[in-house]
Structure 1
Amino acid sequence: MPALIVWDFDGVLNANLRGGRTFWADNMKADLGIDPRGFSHEMFTAGDFRDILRGRRDLLLHVSDWLARHGHDLSGEDFLAYWFEKDAHPDAEVLGWLKAHPARHVIGTNNEHRRCCYIEEQMGYAAHVDHVFSSGRMGAAKPDPGFFAQIEHWAGLAPARILLVDDVAANIAAATARGWQGFHFTDTTRKALPERLGL
């Protein structure tokens, strides 16, 4: 059994994916008058989201600039509040498994600082884990080796005593290459997780 379990957030603790994609922006046109396709393309594909995820650019400034350039009156703060609320879908069953396991628990997530604060405070996950490791605070994102190395240093554990539960195969591969245990969490495998955890 692992001494430390590192839980991915989106797609594991947070059930915000359908068919492998997020759906928080599906009603954005009706709610805010903003075309989600144009926003997603510029924000996640053509933009600097890799730098945002690693804490090198501020998401609020980036979003505020995008809104202003496209003639939207909505403030960046209000847009992020909409985004984070629409993207919050806690998976009570998975959280129950976390609470039932006697190991230490942390979250290891590719999220910038502002959403990480929302996860900790508004969603309440800081109360359920020892620490939230986010790419925006760490300056490294999964599957970068530096992401895993920082958790190892913090935990003071041999890699073989750490388990990553993640929905991205590349992240599992990177972790197991370092000697971690790994569980690839998908709609198909989720039912096997309690047994894997010995619950």
Structure 2
Amino acid sequence: MERDLGVPAPALQRVFFEQHWDEVVHGRAALRDRLAPALAEISPSVTCDAFIDYWFSNDAHIDHCLLSELQALRCEGIEVHLATVQEHERAAYLWDQLDLRSKFDGLHYAAALGCSKPDRAFYRSVEAAVDLTPEAIFFIDDKAVNVAGARDCGWTAALWTGQQTLRALMDQQRWNVS
């Protein structure tokens, strides 16, 4: 980011993320409303559009093996939802530009819910949206704290490291797909 755009990461962290990210990611402030003044201060030649385009395209890492496994579950009639900590524009980018819309049955994200993982309210909001009991949900995440949060809500949950297949994790957790 610093090499490609001239935006120093430590300054961006201090001026934007530390001061504004909580409000943005929880939907209480618009990304551009908070990012534009930060960029004007630390890197005035970089527009919000240029920065956001760079950020979103360079920070979108899809695990295609996992996505394939999830698609197999969908083909069996199991609903697959994406529950993520995103602000509105990035959620829209993932859903529409990366076409995750065609891969998942629903998107549940922090800015729309007003809370984020591992907050109990996040998991309860997702439960309500999908209309499932906690026991009917199998959840994977790449952060142990989020897995613990899901388990605290009664969800069957496993840490995703990419070292095992999704089916192996489901079996290991004794979660029955039927």
TM-score category of the 2 structures, normalised to the smaller one: 0.7 to 0.9
Name the CA distance, whole Å, in 2 between partners of 1:37 and 1:193: 37
The runs of at least 4 aligned residues of structure 1 exceeding 2 Å deviation read 40-44, 196-199
Query: Which of 72, 75, 86 lines up with 2:44 in the alignment?
Result: 72
Name the CA distance, whole Å, in 2 between partners of 1:175 and 1:161: 12
Instruction: Report SS of the residue matched to 2:140.
Output: strand
Instruction: Report SS of the residue matched to 1:152.
Output: helix
**Quick one: which amino acid aligns to residue 172 of structure 1?**
V
Name the CA distance, whole Å, in 2 between partners of 1:39 and 1:106: 32
Deviates more, 1:68-77 or 1:171-180: 68-77
Aligned positions of 1:80-91 closer than 5 A: 80-91=52-63
Are 1:156 and 2:131 an aligned pair? yes
Query: Which of 13, 16, 31 lines up with 1:43 in the alignment?
Result: 16
Name the CA distance, whole Å, in 1 between partners of 2:130 and 2:112: 17
Query: Which of 64, 70, 81 lines up with 1:92 in the alignment?
Result: 64
Measured after TM superposition, the shift of residue 192 of structure 1 is 4.3
Cross-structure match for 1:55? 27
Identify the structure with the greater strand proportion: 1
State TM-score, norm by structure 1.
0.79
Are 1:145 and 2:117 an aligned pair? no
Deviates more, 1:35-44 or 1:59-68: 35-44
Cross-structure match for 1:193? 166
Measured after TM superposition, the shift of residue 132 of structure 1 is 0.6
Measured after TM superposition, the shift of residue 37 of structure 1 is 2.2
Higher relative contact order at CA 8 Å, sep ≥6: structure 1 or structure 2? 1
- Please, which runs of 5 or more residues in structure 2 have no aligned partner? 172-176
- Please, which runs of 5 or more residues in structure 1 have no aligned partner? 1-27
Measured after TM superposition, the shift of residue 175 of structure 1 is 0.9
Name the CA distance, whole Å, in 2 between partners of 1:116 and 1:73: 26
Instruction: Report SS of the residue matched to 2:10.
Output: helix
**Quick one: which amino acid aligns to residue 56 of structure 2?**
F
RMSD of aligned residue pairs (Cα, Å): 1.7
Measured after TM superposition, the shift of residue 42 of structure 1 is 3.0
Say how many residue pairs are matched: 169
